[in-house]
Structure 1
């Protein structure tokens, strides 16, 4: 099953690397530099496209909301914050001047009037260009005289920070921002001349990108500011973005297999493609930020901070079999802790996304227990084979049914369905897979916009593939169809749900073709058979594992304007009640077991440390303070890693560089999950399932007798 489901990483299953929103921060028109005079204007097709999008969303979106002054104000704020999410370019006087449009956007959208949108954009564009000119001029004067002895700090997340009152205040903000970048690179052992070159190239590239802004960019940003006030998954895809999306859906794109977006000048990783190159390599993770890209083993790393997203994507893409190197920082943007990884480009094959099985044996006082594991990366079906009328087409349910029969022959006593980092897929497959574990009954409910009753999907065949002990393993990146399956198993009390709270995506999107591009619109919501939505809340496990991703950092609940959790009338179903009587005892046994487990101690410590780091709001610009902080972090991480290594009988390391070298050696030797390198979360899930078998007296004989 590879390394992709180890302690701290895992993919969110989508089809390939796509451009979801081309966010290229540009600016406007106050304190204007004549050398930049190039106001953008709408293309002739944009008003009609705008009217079509507005009409589609207002009439077909799951929620109905008025397009009035209140909506106009919300769109205005969303648009301005999309252009300048870090509140780093526009000034408060700019906002005061632009405020005349705050309550005019509703009528403008109703009539296809894009003049206010482009006026706001051009104001922002001018501020951006002038700021970049100033940054370049300052850096050309050198960085040697910058003082790092003052007790200054920089706010990390400025989404809610006030706008600069004037240019002097904005100059001071940017002085601190540049100082933070320089200090981070100094602590990463770069010399000042190299740092100066890196920053000059960064801002010159940023200026070049800004000057190449097109009307389509401004239009897409504006119309998506409107669309995102409905929910974060409703989105206009421009012709270029639409092309990328279609390539991703057909799996024809060769690259690393990651979904990217722009966040405050950085290209950040949203999720990984199941069984894609980045997923298999195991080093790239959601929320990482890409600061440089290099070609081949020795190609120069090109700084991409501030680049257009589509240009970063083009740099990362490449022919199958070639190497791309990425320099990464975590989501704080602190470049002192950067790391460089290598990924071999490839395409994603259906076979690599298919379900797989493995078996391991656990010892207990009552005898050995054999645990079967079904690793399901995504809910797939070979639509092309279905359209061709082939009888033996591949699908999740068909493959899992076959694997269960093989596991029965191998004599397993319990079954673990591993849905970690499975981001979903086919609704039909989620429904039919559930049917392998229940005899008959509803599996999921789907309610469309403004329809009073939900459609109830049912399993009617009266048969099961497995009636024996069952556990479902999930994490924060288990989403959509995974949540449908896990929710049904939990509602029926058919098995144990174990892991961390899932993503919480309970909505359905439809693609609407336009004259230019496509519109992705949320038209329905999923509901569990209990009547609970999976939206926002996700699936809360029966037994919880440490949260390594951070539910406050990843998931539907972290997205602006996500649809709310709600309930509808429950479907008519009957619980099997196999699990509930044993849950408390299972939890007690689990807690006692993992209290002394070195892998879980590692996970708990890492989870707590990451939570503390995410809670930090400011970063020090004092070099002495930062050196002390970095040394303390390095000592803590070294102690953490050595505690785990020693507990596993391995030699300790003397530095974090030794750890990186050891990990690189293992990767080159293609060491994967095996009996001598078990996945600790799978192993503990097996122990929980073994406890359930021993407590309940249920065995796989039940499943065999039912067939």
Structure 2
């Protein structure tokens, strides 16, 4: 009797005592695993279906009430929402359509319109039935994958002209088990090809893939009731917006999984993304940020401690991955990740990061003074980098008159730059993910006399306005604010206020668009993070979804289709409320066209910009690939072309710095590893974008001499009420 046949016999014997999914959809569906497998795994294991608890049912009822009556989005629980929950839940459990068949999905057609009423009353069994089926199908798929590997990867055909779809999130469900077998054979071939192209031998590849699938299989057998409940509740809450979510009691301890502000780790915020754990953002001043290689939207494949073998974490729970990444200060953790710009999921890179704590001073604002020579005129441009909006709340509450904060530090830096004779100022908010709201409010106050800075609209439509009530101004000269896609939340409030007041120009790329406010509310079992308010600019437009649109745009390598509020499912839309009275310090309409023309003229001849454009085009080509070849020779040629392009771009950048080019991609990667170990990586885009910000400041001075003096109390045009 084969392994599969023994498993069928055991399950048939045990089925009479089981409840839930097996009674709901029948024993035949439970036994949908194909016969004849010979995977070398523990054949005594049987998946035990998980069941909801009374505490979970009570928490479900509380969550449903909170969503209906306190969420910013006014939405009831009805049949239409029930269908949305069903689709969101399947996306959460099988987002790439690789486990379930169309027949499996059709089994639940009857409950599709009934989930809403069940969720209102804490009837969790339908959600658990779906979860148990998916877990069973995951086990079957992994068993099939191991059976393929047992036959040896040398039996796979890499000569056929086959392809595999890169992203299956919009694919149709496969018709039956045979179709899934074909798909998974292609997935295995794809994984083997990627490792062969990375010059691994077949024995190492087989060992690596077996470890991966066996690890996932072990976790599938270890599924817990809490896993099902958290998955189901997060599918439910996501219908309101992507920032509303349920935290299990354990996940509540790791709220936002910010591993560096209070615990030793790498300084990254993580979230679950189908089978993967994804990097959401890096904490400024943290080990990962300083190391320089890890990027937002990278997905973690494996984690290794020091010199130990890596542990594959595909399919792991988020809290388990976090536990692996955390560790004692000065120890090294190595992450294997799929880069955000990878053309497919088999392309990975390895990043070693030394764990540490993030110190407040490493997140502090800092300054530079750059010199620009322009047609015989010299300009000194001050630059202030603000990585986050911070405040030492403990020192503040203790009454320390010298407590650190963004606003206090920037005020001091401005004075130091003025003492050094700066002619204009650039505030760099790129990659600033936000922070303390009151600091964004106070920072705006350094550049205006007084007035409103942001409006906050609550779920009951009540609008609250935050104001700068300090009439003192730290700096009233020409100003540019640099932003990119990772500038979010408090950064967007500051940039939007500077733009609305006509106090300066925003330069760079469209910001993230995070314009909502969440509160964490305790439940009898875990916590609910729920969106309760929304930010609006003083001009009335929300920062939600649209973010801040720059006055002068500079393209970025960051993929806007994967990073940003408008890339998230069911994000709250942009809208507008009444503007509040505010001052316009300067009307840029008379000079903005000339400013843009000068900027475009400079960039047309800028080797740094041309190189950036080339790199963006290359990355876009990789992102737009819908499928990859499974033919070895074809794939090898594509791989070599990608490597040649990477090397060409890296060498072009080195030549701009007057450095010797690399003779191979291996030399480039070795250099990158050395730079990372020294925490001495250089981002050339930041350097030339800062210089361009300085040139735009100089253009502002040249085109309107009312901006020349920074020593007079007021050098802008007379204030006029905002329209």
Q: Please, what TM-score do these two structures have when normalized by structure 2?
A: 0.90
CA contact (8 A) 2:701 2:708 kept: no
Q: CA deviation at 1:537?
A: 0.8
Report the structure number with the largest CA radius of gyration.
Answer: 2
The reply on whether 1:680 has 2:688 as its aligned counterpart is yes
How far the C-alpha of 1:450 sits from its partner, in A, is: 3.0
What is the match of residue 217 of structure 1? 227
Moved more, 259-268 or 235-244: 259-268
- Aligned with residue 151 of structure 1, among 156, 161, 182: 161
Question: Conserved in 2, the CA contact under 8 Å of 1:232 and 1:561?
Answer: yes
Deviations 1:1-44 (A, max 9, x none): xxxxxxxxxxxxxxxxxxxxxxxxxxx96335695241110122
Does the 8 Å CA contact 2:166/2:626 hold for their aligned counterparts? yes
Q: Which residue of 1 aligns with 2:703?
A: 695
**Alpha-carbon separation, structure 2, partners of 1:395 and 1:322:** 30
Pair 1:365-2:366 in alignment: no
Counterpart residue number, 1:604: 613
Corresponding position of 1:582: 591
Paired with 1:704 and 1:316, the residues of 2 have a C-alpha distance of: 53
Cα pair distance change 1:171/1:488, threshold 3 Å: same
| Partner residue, 1:61 | 71
Give 1:613's aligned residue. 622
Deviation at 1:103? Answer: 1.1
For 1:556, the equivalent position in structure 2 comes to 565
Q: Aligned residue for 1:568?
A: 577
Structure 1 residue 417 displacement after superposition? 0.6
2:108 is matched with which residue?
A: 98
> Secondary structure of 1:682's match?
helix
Question: How far did 1:149 drift?
Answer: 1.0
Cα deviation code 1:315-340 (max 9, x no counterpart): 21110011111222224574664322
Q: 1:310 aligns with which of 291, 316, 319?
A: 319
- CA RMSD after TM alignment: 2.1
Q: Is the 8 A contact 2:493 2:537 kept in 1?
A: yes
What is the distance in 1 between the residues matched to 2:118 and 2:64? 11
The whole-number CA distance in structure 1 between the counterparts of 2:686 and 2:518 is: 38
The partner residue of 2:555 within 542, 546, 555 is: 546
1:659 and 1:306 map into 2 onto residues whose CA distance is 32
Deviations 1:610-650 (A, max 9, x none): 11211111111111111111111122222222222223322
Whole-Å separation in 1 of the counterparts to 2:362 and 2:501: 31
Partner of 1:436: 446
Mapping for residues 215-364 of structure 1, pairs under 5 Å: 215-245=225-255, 248=258, 251-296=261-306, 298-331=307-340, 332=342, 334=344, 337-364=347-374
Which of 164, 189, 201 is residue 211 of structure 2 equivalent to?
201
Match of 2:20? none
Distance 1:39 1:638, change over 3 A: same
C-alpha spacing 1:336/1:244, structure 2 compared with 1 (3 Å): closer
Per the alignment, do residues 614 and 334 of structure 1 end up closer, same or farther by CA in structure 2, a change over 3 Å counting?
A: closer
Distance 1:291 1:35, change over 3 A: closer
The partner residue of 2:182 within 133, 158, 172 is 172
Q: Which of residues 12, 34, 47 is equivalent to 2:57?
A: 47
Contiguous gaps of at least 5 residues in structure 2: 1-24, 34-43, 716-723
Where does residue 84 of structure 1 map in the other structure? 94
Range with bigger deviation, 588-597 or 562-571 = 588-597
Q: 2 CA distance for matches of 1:705 and 1:450? A: 42
Deviation of 1:50 (Å): 0.7
Asked if 2 retains the 8 angstrom alpha-carbon contact of 1:366 and 1:694, the reply is no
Structure 1 stretch 254-263 or stretch 506-515: which is displaced more? 254-263
Kept in 2: contact 1:502–1:539 (CA 8 A): yes
Distance in 1 between residues matched to 2:680 and 2:57, nearest whole Å = 56
Aligned mates of 1:236, 1:262 — CA distance in 2: 13
Which residue of structure 2 aligns with residue 501 of structure 1? Answer: 510
The alpha-carbon distance between structure 1 residues 389 and 247, as it changes in their structure 2 partners (threshold 3 A), is farther
What is the distance in 2 between the residues matched to 1:608 and 1:333? 13
DSSP-derived class of the 1:625 partner: helix
SS in 2 for 1:701: coil
Q: Which of residues 654, 662, 665 is equivalent to 1:656?
A: 665
Aligned to 2:600, what secondary structure does the other structure show?
helix
* C-alpha distance in structure 1 between counterparts of 2:257 and 2:196, whole Å: 41
| Counterparts of residues 113-132 of structure 1 (less than 5 Å) | 113-132=123-142
Aligned: 1:30 with 2:30: yes
User: Against the structure 1 CA distance between its residues 234 and 703, is the aligned structure 2 distance closer, same or farther, given a 3 Å change threshold?
Assistant: farther
Output aligned runs, 1:431-470, within 5 Å: 431-451=441-461, 453-470=462-479
Q: Secondary structure at the match of 2:108?
A: helix
Alignment-derived partner of residue 134 in structure 1:
144
Contact 2:259 2:268 in 1 (8 A): no
Instruction: Work out the CA distance in 2 between the residues paired with 1:293 and 1:249.
Output: 15
Residues 260-301 of structure 1 deviation map (CA, whole Å, 9 limit, x = unaligned)? 2333423221211111100011111012122222222x3323
Cα distance in 1 for residues equivalent to 2:673 and 2:86: 48
Shifted more, 131-140 versus 149-158: the winner is: 131-140
Secondary structure of the corresponding residue to residue 573 of structure 2: coil
**Alpha-carbon distance in structure 2 between the residues aligned to 1:112 and 1:338:** 42
Check whether the contact 1:412–1:700 (CA below 8 A) recurs between aligned residues: no
Asked whether the 8 Å contact 1:471–1:685 carries over to 2, the reply is yes
- Which stretch of structure 1 is more off in the superposition, 325-334 or 357-366? 325-334
- 1:511–1:518 contact (8 Å) kept in structure 2: yes
Aligned to 1:526: 535
Residue 144 of structure 1 aligns to a residue whose secondary structure is helix
Q: Which digits, 9 at most, give the CA deviation of each residue in 1:42-67, with x for residues without a partner?
A: 12211111111111111110011120
Figure out how many residues of one structure are paired with residues of the other and give that number.
Answer: 677
Contact 1:227 1:235 in 2 (8 A): yes
Aligned residue runs from structure 1 range 350-499, under 5 A: 350-365=360-375, 367-451=377-461, 453-499=462-508
Q: Structure 1: how far apart are the matches of 2:316 and 2:494? A: 40
CA contact (8 A) 1:188 1:338 kept: no
Q: Secondary structure at the match of 2:178?
A: helix
Of stretches 479-488 and 647-656 in structure 1, the one that deviates more from structure 2 is 647-656
Question: 1:368, 1:570 → 2: CA distance?
Answer: 40
CA contact (8 A) 2:259 2:267 kept: no
Equivalent-residue separation in structure 2 for 1:485 and 1:338 (angstroms): 37
Confirm or deny that 1:72 pairs with 2:82.
yes
Give 5+ residue unaligned stretches, structure 1: 1-27
> 2: distance between equivalents of 1:57 and 1:77?
19
- Report if the CA contact (8 A) 1:91-1:170 is conserved: yes
Partner Cα separation in structure 1 for residue 646 and residue 56 of structure 2: 53
Instruction: State the Cα distance separating 1:307 from its structure 2 match.
Output: 2.7
* Matches of 2:206 and 2:370, distance apart in 1: 55
Greater alpha carbon shift after TM alignment, 570-579 vs 474-483:
570-579
Give distance in 2, aligned partners of 1:624 and 1:326: 30
CA–CA distance in structure 1, aligned partners of residues 351 and 45 of structure 2: 40
For residues 118-144 of structure 1, give each alpha carbon's deviation from its aligned partner in whole angstroms, at most 9, with x where no partner exists: 111111111111221222122122111
**CA-CA distance at 1:308 after TM superposition:** 2.7
